[in-house]
Structure 1
């Protein structure tokens, strides 16, 4: 079933306009067909009631359940020096199940926090497009950028990827009963020794993805995807 973004909600009707209306025409959705429409943080099953050149009106049939599979993974992503690579990271970690992405500034990452903040709106648009495509219950959240030195270990399980780690891989991580995970991924060139030691002091566990050294964007996608799929909670959900 196709999913669209609503422009405004009027009682039991949702109006779709502008770019989303173009998507309806591109998908060749016809009046009378059922569609999913997301608006104001809620997802609805609707019937496309009226389709014109300037708008579409959708009659709400029911509100859909919004529950996330566990564990809920917050990805703390050190911002790549090639800032455009964040577009791919946002799109793909949304698809593999991350709950939230927080841009992180580390010693080897992109440094200009003002530029990063200006990119958040773009990343939110990418997350919305991914949300429509992969049918996740809510769009990937994009957090405000944070300096690595200000990070805190707040989840049931706190991990960071380290290509120099020799003893611990994902198969060695105990995921039974883990509902929340913080996963930090470094930039190109990795974290410094000082940064790794700092994270360990907070309670973060170093973790290596085998068998080779991965690009930062590859590591993020693979790390989130494997943690989601190896978790015993993959069939459990959290109501949002």
Structure 2
């Protein structure tokens, strides 16, 4: 079933306008057909009631309450110096199941917090587009940027990727029953030794992805995807 972003809600009617309306026309939907519409943070099953050149009106049938798959992964992503590479990271970690993405400023990352903040709306739009395509229950949450020193090890399992780690890989982790994971991924060139020791002091476990040293964006996508797929949980889903 096709999914669209609504512009506003009025009682039991949702409106689709602007660029989303063009997408609806491209899908050749007709009045009376069912579709999913996301508006004001909620997803609805609707019937297309009226289609015009300026808007489409959709009659709400019911709210769709899909559970969020576990584990809930917060990806702390050190922002690449090539800032455009964050577009790919946002799109792909959304597809493989990250719950939240928090941009991080580290010694070797992109440094301007102000520039990063200006990119947040773009990344949120990319996350919404991915939400439509991969049929997540909710869009990837994009958080405000932070500095590495402000990271907290507040999940059940706290990890960071370290190319020089020799003792532990993802397959060595006990993921049974884990519902929340913080995963920290460094920038190009990795973490400095001081940063690595700082993360360890907070309680983050270093892990390595085998067999080769990966680019930061590849490591993020693979790391999140493996953690999602290798998790063996006592509860298969989690409903907010």
Q: Residue 174 in 1 paired to residue 192 in 2?
A: no
Q: Say which SS state the counterpart of residue 212 (structure 2) adopts.
A: coil
Q: Say which SS state the counterpart of residue 115 (structure 1) adopts.
A: helix
Q: Give structure 1 stretches of 5+ with no counterpart.
A: none
CA 1:234–1:45 in 2, change beyond 3 Å: closer, same or farther?
farther
CA 1:112–1:215 in 2, change beyond 3 Å: closer, same or farther?
same
1:122-145 CA deviation, whole Å, 9 max, x = no partner? Answer: 000000000000000111000000
Residue correspondence of structure 1 range 96-175 to structure 2 within 5 A: 96-175=96-175
What is the CA-CA distance between 1:233 and the residue it aligns to? 2.5
Q: Residue 81 in 1 paired to residue 81 in 2?
A: yes
Q: Give structure 2 stretches of 5+ with no counterpart.
A: none
Q: Is the 8 A contact 1:81 1:187 kept in 2?
A: yes
User: Quick one: distance in 1 between partners of 2:111 and 2:2?
Assistant: 39
1:24-59 CA deviation, whole Å, 9 max, x = no partner? Answer: 011111111110000111100001111111100001
Q: Say which SS state the counterpart of residue 197 (structure 1) adopts.
A: helix
1:97-148 CA deviation, whole Å, 9 max, x = no partner? Answer: 0000000000000000000000000000000000000000111000000000
What is the CA-CA distance between 1:202 and the residue it aligns to? 0.4
Q: Say which SS state the counterpart of residue 232 (structure 1) adopts.
A: coil
Q: Say which SS state the counterpart of residue 28 (structure 1) adopts.
A: coil
How high is the TM-score relative to the length of structure 2?
0.98
CA 1:20–1:235 in 2, change beyond 3 Å: closer, same or farther?
farther
1:176-198 CA deviation, whole Å, 9 max, x = no partner? Answer: 11000000000000000100000
Greater mean alpha carbon deviation, residues 4-13 or residues 76-85 = 4-13
How high is the TM-score relative to the length of structure 1?
0.98
User: Quick one: distance in 2 between partners of 1:150 and 1:9?
Assistant: 38
User: Quick one: distance in 2 between partners of 1:90 and 1:235?
Assistant: 27
Q: Is the 8 A contact 2:176 2:234 kept in 1?
A: no
Counterpart for residue 216 of structure 2: 216
1:60-109 CA deviation, whole Å, 9 max, x = no partner? Answer: 11110132000000000000000000000000000000000000000000
Q: Is the 8 A contact 1:48 1:59 kept in 2?
A: yes
What is the CA-CA distance between 1:235 and the residue it aligns to? 6.7
RMSD: 0.9
Q: Is the 8 A contact 2:177 2:235 kept in 1?
A: no
Moved over 6 A (4+): none
Counterpart for residue 47 of structure 2: 47
Across the two proteins, how many residue pairs are aligned to each other? 240
Greater mean alpha carbon deviation, residues 36-45 or residues 225-234 = 225-234
Q: Say which SS state the counterpart of residue 61 (structure 1) adopts.
A: strand
What is the CA-CA distance between 1:13 and the residue it aligns to? 0.8
User: Quick one: distance in 1 between partners of 2:235 and 2:68?
Assistant: 10
